[in-house]
Structure 1
Amino acid sequence: MIMESKSYSYILIFFLHIFLAHFLIHTTANIPAIIVFGDSSVDAGNNNHVPTIARSNFGPYGRDFAGGRPTGRFCNGRIATDFISEGVGLRPVVPAYLDPAYNMSDFSVGVTFASAGTGYDNATSDVLGVIPMWKELEYYKEYRSRLREHVGDFRALSTLVNALYVVSMGTNDFLENYYSTFSQRRMQYTVDEYEDFLIRLARNFVVEIHSLGAHKISLGGLPPMGCMPLERTQNIANGNECMETYNVVAESFNQKLEAMVGELNRDIPGLQLVFSNPYYVLRQIVDNPASYGFEVSERACCATGRFEMGFTCDERNPMTCRDANKYVFWDAFHPSEQTNRIVAQHLLNTSLHKFLIT
């Protein structure tokens, strides 16, 4: 009888939480927090606390950030999620969960679990020894418990069901893993099969975070990764133009992601999943930089701008540009702050707009 009573109580609590989540998400119009998962595109410094070479906690990274300090963002200043946070009425930066300079008061309105160099595939995070996707999820579970302790059960539930969740990864799965010199994945899968493998992992990830409270989720697509200066450097035979074979893969993968988003929205009641595609706006910027106020798109600001990223982007190199706002790319792999600003505004005006309507 005691066991039956406990089971009944657990079931009652479970359905009460479902009811509260449904009630809260339909009665609260604002976004109380932004919660981020992903790679270097959205890492604000978690890798500073991981034994990896995939770090950017030194100059000239961060030279245009507040105070001119390197934070671990792979940029001269702020990244896209910082601008998105500001755009939805929250703080102008989203702090890294592992950064001891911040506490739960900060994390209660914005936090990123992202790790530069990671991907959907666990084998991708192994390449540089960074935080795998499953570990980001474990940090989120820990965060949920800490949030309840910090603000109480009801307010924590309200924050979790109304927060904007941003997921941005996938580029490393292809460039650092599948297309690497000694890739095991390329021996296991054709590129089409590998895309499908990643889609399954992305789907499982979305389903998992939804089961843990996420309702408003932005799933990011791949950029035109063949137009990164790092890839253009290797395309000598075609005059260092964009490597279109990689861009074709990015477009194909994005189409599959978008289709998966539609399927999940049909299959899961209450889910508000959107596909945030940076591909076309970034391609337009690369192809027509002057239209967006840029002067250079084929190489990056940092040093020669061809191959530098991480420790090869060094403040002692006199070749680093003076004004990063003139460059589409900051280093050979990552956009400049100004590009991040434009992409974030594009996403706020398109895929994320539904979350801003009151």
Structure 2
Amino acid sequence: MTVANRHSIIDTKYHLFDNNRSKSNSALYRLNMMIYQRPMPPAGRHLLAVVFLPLLLAGALMACRQDASSGGEVEGAPATERLTLPVLAPHTGDAPLRVVATTGLVGDVVGRVGGAAIDLTVLMGPGQDPHSYQPGAADLAAVADADLIFVNGWNLEEGLLADLAAIAGAPFVPVSAGITPRRIESDHGHDHDHGPADPHVWQDVGHVGQWAENVRLALRAADPANAAIYDANAAAYRATLAELAAELRQTLAAIPAERRVFVTNHDNLGYFTAAYDFTSVGAVIPSVSSLAEPTAAGLAALIDTMRATGVCAVVVEANAADDLARVLQNELTGCDEVRLIALYTDALGAAGSAADNYPGLMRANAAALVEGLR
């Protein structure tokens, strides 16, 4: 396919999909119901661009379909359902495997495991919110040419996935496959596409070890000739992660138990608090999606909770605007000092910063928490 023809197809598909998105989503949903959990044979790989991505994320997509009369979920996969890896056919040809990763965090792990054996394109750069990112023409061209596309899973990239599904000809691989998701108890009333599964699994280092294993399995299935490279790279990275997990616990031990309490900007640190013995008493935006909107009543209730519990620390995203968190800071007049602790939560830091890779991001966050809470 020539470059000109490829971009013509991209432009046409993008336009048609954008004009018919609601109808397309409904059709994909019904199709998911028909084929959910059925094996996908290698011969069906070209169908993956249309149906397999929503299938992988069916739990998130289906559970957000609300019953307007009751406010409940009408149908969908259980909140604790795990994602699975697709069946992959071996890549043909002598060129390196062309791989796309959606987020910088996913791309960092894919790059560690794939190394020089793959041709990797990462769609989102440093500091870009995975919830709201919209693809450009270059993104769509890379996706159209890809042999594999790695996504987070559970619809983290909610502003991106539908457009990729409209143009991709390669299977989507959820790096979070095999991880039991955190259940979201009160994520209703927002017009975003998150379901009951919290997608921010990388906040627990152990889960990123599972990412590395999933990437290894996908790459060696698609590119058996380089399986030994992927095996060795994954083993080395998992050893790095094991050392990182021990280091984080040692660093965070400097924070007394009674001070391991904070409020977050949005609900994206649930895995972190569970893994490292912290407590979040609430969030400025009470949702796992940064696209949700806070309410005046919700903010007032959060302020009351913080006053009642004596919490004077607010975790904000280092890469995001924190105006609402600063409003909280002004309201909590009972605190001697309201500490705003900037963490890298949903995206890597700028190139050359301490947080420009996953281990560095976790180290930087641990250091910031020690500084802000002890």
Looking at secondary structure, tell me which structure has more strand per residue.
Answer: 2
Decide: shared fold, TM above 0.5: no
Q: TM-score, normalised by structure 2?
A: 0.25
Q: TM-score, normalised by structure 1?
A: 0.26
